[in-house]
Structure 1
Amino acid sequence: MMKKGFLFTIMIISLSVILIACSGTNEEGKSDNGDDDNKQVEQVLKIANDQEPAGLDPHKTPAHSSVRIYSQVYSGLVEFDKDMNIVGDLAVDWNQPDDQTYVFNLHEGVKFHNGREMKAEDVKYSFERILAEETASHIASYFSNVESIEVLGDYQIQFKLKSTDATFLSNLTNASAVVVAKEVVEEHGDLQQEAIGTGPFKFVEWVPDNRVVLEKNEEYYKEGLPKLDEVIYYTMKDEAARLSAIRTGEVDLTTLTAQSASLLENQEKIDIKSYQSLEYSYVGFNVNSEILKDEKVRQALSLATDRQSIADIVWNGDAVISGPVAPSMGDWSIDVESHELYSKNLEKAKELLAEAGYPDGFEITITTASTYADMVDTAQILQQQWKEIGVEATIKQIEWGEYIDTWLNTSADILIGRNGSGTDPDRALNYFFHSTGSANVWGFADSDYDALVETGKTTVDLEERKTIYTEAQEKLLELSPNLFLVSPMKYVAVRDSVEGFTPYPHNGEYILDVTKK
């Protein structure tokens, strides 16, 4: 009986060896054809977003919660590479017959997600739509210097400018300066709920307060990109929910505050990527308000503001004091901390209030987005600090959609927010504060300031531009249509199953090279 049992065991072992050999898998977990098992991993990236999109129309919606979605769906003529050099996107190349003329040669065979080929007529339509008054585009002022747009052929288009413009190419890199399909706009009225572009991902669905789903554009003109098959953006307004989701692997990637990022520093399977942002936090003033129309009141509030406390408390110390041009823009930004209005001086603040007719202070409402903890925390700190000069502030927290409408319509006296300085000082100084700037929602107008930024826009000499923009920043601090607070570090928590993700100051959500392992 023992002998029979032994022979039976040998037969079982032999059969197992044969089955393993037939399976084609070796001991390293690789199949005989050399493919790794993990190459079969589903290429789906799950991202937790802190906010619901405010709409998907790139020509109409500036909210970052929307930009992060539509920037994956649409393409523009040019873009920044990883080193912030301007390179072609839909444009193969371009030339300048003279200082006021740009001719772009387009890639042939690029298709919209509806299958139609993109041609020069689409470029012309898109920029005329941006400039049309009825569109009310937030980037119309970027291209107000465009005199004419002419189609020279199916794959060639010419922009003629009214004057030399040092910002034209960099403005074309904006995530909203993209090419859209006329028939889609006409069918839907706008693009707020529909997104059909030429970009690396196709829009699949938007389930409100839940998720936005994108899928790979198999006909994307850049060979081998994107590497992901699908991207799912989950709306998780509560940071605790995002923190839990990244810990458990429910999502692969999410942005976090400095405080939450510190909780994950030693967490297995999670990497924290940080970078100095081009953003700054601000206090926006409706300068047509009865109280705030006097610049002395705005200056008094600046003198009562301790920006370092905001950096330390709101951003856990991971923020630098900023002006309208964030310090990460290098030589373009000025040393704001040496400015008189950046030093806390309560006595001087009270003097200015008295001169403005408010010796005992005043009552006012600070409006902020309830879904952004940093904005709420900033409002609460300012409420405490301004009380020292007799200003009694009430905080009003509103949902994101209402917040965007409030910003657009200047329907709050004081608004807490965050802006991006952009990649050229023209955005920070012209777009937001020129009297006709598309994002000047504050009612601010000063002819001397306008003249400065207009000159800066048309000046090609680099050192001369820097001198002009230095003067413009100093004047803006003096007039204080906004109080510029701090520029924070940005933090992204990434699961170790994600490869190829690198956030950049000018593009913190570049995912074309990302794969899952």
Structure 2
Amino acid sequence: MNRKTLVLPAVVGLLAPVLAACGGSDSGSGSGDPIRVGTTDTFTATKDAPAPVDPAYAYDVGTWNILRQTVQTLMVQPKGEGDPVPEAAQSCGFTDSGNERYACKLRSGLKFSNGDSITAEDVKYSIERALRIKADSGVFALLSTIDTVEAKGDDEVIFHLKTADATFPYKLSTPVAGIVNPKDYEKDKLRDGFDVDGSGPYTFQADVDGDHIVSATFTKNPNYKGALKVNNDKVVMKSFASADAMGDAIDKGDIDVMTRAMTPSQINKLDAGKDKAVDLVEMPGLEIRYLAFNTNANSVKTKAVRQAMAQIIDRSELVSKVYGTQAEPLYSLVPATITGHSNSFFNKYGDPSVSKAKTMLERAGITTPVRITLHYTTDHYGAASKQEFEILEKQLNKSGLFDVDIKGSPWTTFRPAEQKGQYDVYGMGWFPDFADADNYLAPFLDKDNFLGSPYANSDIRNTLIPESRREADRQAASKSLTEIQDIVAEDVPVIPLWQGKQYVAARDDITGTAYALNSSSTLQLWELGRGVS
């Protein structure tokens, strides 16, 4: 029987956790054959990115999903969403009224997978290593509010922050804050290749062909101590060149679970119940897609050009033609389900209008049509990306104000070129590090931002982001968050396009699929098990 399960979204709000112990749970006793999981994520080591799975470098959903299974963090997102809870820690919390001192006490008996004991010094080493290396992926910026890290005895770690940061517990749940063994990870150098060692629920072994991972085996770590219950002994994850190939594999029974990214047509087919042996699970998703600008590039340096594009693009048409009910138009970097969201782009631009866009360009003295290339990645955000950009191209060219073409590149080429500022306009996706408005704003707008964007607004960086982080009650931060979103709609360093749902497909003897992904697209392999077909 095909069934579609909708997991209701949690109420999103961030409260500062208190110092309360959270006991670990014993691992489950998985049995039978390994659970086989398919993905279209690619894992490649290149000259520009030779260390794709080092916690101090990795900053995309695919590599983070490897690290979340293998490298333990002090905090973790709980089953069913909500505020983070202790994982490698026994307890964590702010110890001052200003949210500037955060202390964690480690669980007793923590060990790396090789049996080495974990101490507070190892945690300190791991955090300081990521900050010291300052990888060009920009992931270290998640830890940018840390001033110093103090190891007190063997089991207490104290973080002294530069400024108040109510989101800090969430940041400690991300892989960049993962605990690594100093024996395996040098202090000042990234670890090249695909070896991963940690203290998480699984150990990791990659099957590598040349410079990329073909498949990866996750084996239950006998030394793991933490908050997660592991419901299987082994998971094998295979990387497929296309969603169609992945779909063929689940139809044949070669894999048990299909994760990101399925095509819209595959989802529609499964939703219709045409495959009785495979179940589709729909979950709330916080993924967003957007256009980003190199605001120093001649073609889009003038704000009016970016504003005119924002005025022309028809999100509703884009979503309906490509994704249907699987996505919704988005008018801010912050998704509609996140506390602090504001429809700032709709408030400013309203419905699409060529005449308004024309007036904007005329007032700025811009000669039309404006010649622009829209760049997108062919293999990182799903097979529908090309169709999405074809529609954007058509919308902008139909206005007569732009002369647009599109160009697709594989992620291994696209991402380094984007980071080096080689693209004037390019399409990106964002899977949140944690479900808070700050994580949809600071990574794009703060210093050392994820995009390497030259756009800088002093009010956002120096006043509004710090103000919003002082508020443990995230509703109270809404005024500052709304101001940030309004400035973005005015200056247009990015154009938000849509936010999407997420799906898992599994053969009907697989259990735990409702929790296989959380709202931040974290793959939780430990939730999967085998039942009765």
TM-score (norm 2): 0.85
Whether contact under 8 Å (1:303, 1:345) holds in the other structure is: yes
Q: In the aligned structure 2, how far is the partner of 1:97 from the partner of 1:85? A: 17
- CA drift at 1:429: 1.0
Determine the structure 2 residue equivalent to 1:509.
Answer: 523
1:140 aligns with 2:140: yes
Q: Which residue of structure 2 lines up, in the alignment, with residue 93 of structure 1?
A: 91
Q: Is the 8 A contact 2:435 2:519 kept in 1?
A: no
Compared with structure 1, are the counterparts of its residues 263 and 148 closer, same or farther at alpha carbon in structure 2 (3 Å cutoff)?
Answer: same
Corresponding residue for 2:26? none
Whose radius of gyration is greater, 1 or 2?
Answer: 1
How much has 1:497 moved relative to structure 2? 1.6
Counterpart secondary structure, 1:349: helix
Aligned to 1:210, what secondary structure does the other structure show? strand
List aligned pairs for 1:284-299, cutoff 5 A. Answer: 284-299=292-307
Does 1:465 pair with 2:477? yes
2:126, 2:298 → 1: CA distance? 40
The whole-number CA distance in structure 2 between the counterparts of 1:194 and 1:68 is: 14
Structure 2 CA distance for aligned equivalents of residues 134 and 283 of structure 1 = 26
SS in 2 for 1:367: strand
Q: Normalising by structure 1, report the TM-score.
A: 0.87
The structure with the largest helix share of the pair is 1
Q: Which amino acid aligns with 1:506?
A: S
How far apart are the structure 2 equivalents of 1:115 and 1:175?
21
Output aligned runs, 1:334-353, within 5 Å: 334-336=342-344, 338-353=346-361
**Gap change, CA 1:449 and 1:164, over 3 Å in 2:** closer
CA deviation profile, 1:80-124 (whole Å, cap 9, x unmatched): 212312210111002433232122110122211222111111110
Give the aligned residue type for 2:525.
Answer: I
Return closer, same or farther for 1:461/1:110 CA change in 2, 3 Å cut-off. Answer: closer
Is residue 312 of structure 1 aligned with residue 313 of structure 2? no
Question: In the alignment, what sits opposite 2:414?
Answer: 403
Alignment counterpart, residue 261 of structure 1, candidates 246, 261, 267: 267
SS of 1:389's partner is: coil
Q: Which residue of 2 aligns with 1:23?
A: none
RMSD across aligned positions (CA): 2.1
Partner of 1:81: 78
- Structure 2 match to 1:370: 378
SS state of the match for residue 339, structure 1?
A: helix
Quick check: 331-340 or 139-148, which moved more? 331-340
Find the aligned partners of 1:341 and 1:284 in 2 and give their Cα distance: 18
Aligned twin of 1:24:
none
Q: Which of 50, 55, 60 is the matching residue for 2:40?
A: 50
SS at match of 2:76: strand
Answer yes or no: is the 8 Å Cα contact 1:420–1:428 preserved in 2: no
User: How much has 1:508 moved relative to structure 2?
Assistant: 4.6
Distance in 2 separating the partners of 1:282 and 1:477: 13
Q: Which residue number corresponds to residue 355 of structure 1?
A: 363
Instruction: Check whether the contact 1:501–1:510 (CA below 8 A) recurs between aligned residues.
Output: no
Provide the residue aligned with 2:199 in structure 1: 198
Aligned with 1:484 (options 490, 496, 521): 496
**Identical positions, percent:** 24
Q: Is the 8 Å Cα contact of residues 286 and 520 (structure 2) preserved in structure 1? A: yes
Unaligned 5+ segments in structure 1 are 1-38
Q: Distance in 2 between matches of 1:495 and 1:510?
A: 17
What per-residue deviation string (whole Å, max 9, x for no partner) do you get for residues 360-391 of structure 1?
Answer: 22222111111232322221111101102331
Letter in 2 for 1:368: Y
Structure 2 Cα separation of the partners of residues 180 and 135 of structure 1: 16
Structure 1: how far apart are the matches of 2:207 and 2:455? Answer: 37
State whether residues 430 and 437 of structure 1, in contact with CA within 8 Å, keep that contact through their aligned partners in structure 2. no
1:393-427 CA distance string (max 9 Å, x none): 22211112112212332321111121124311111
Whole-angstrom CA distance in 1 between matches of 2:356 and 2:304: 10
**3-state DSSP of counterpart to 1:233:** strand
Q: Distance in 2 between matches of 1:373 and 1:95?
A: 43
Q: Deviations over 1:50-106 (max 9, x none)?
A: 121242112212121211212111111111212312210111002433232122110
Write the deviation string for residues 157-211 of structure 1: whole angstroms up to 9, x where unpaired: 1111122221211221223321111221229842542100111111112322521
Give 1:488 shift: 1.1
Matches of 1:340 and 1:97, distance apart in 2: 42
Deviation larger for 186-195 or 479-488: 186-195
Unaligned ranges ≥5, structure 2: 1-28, 45-51
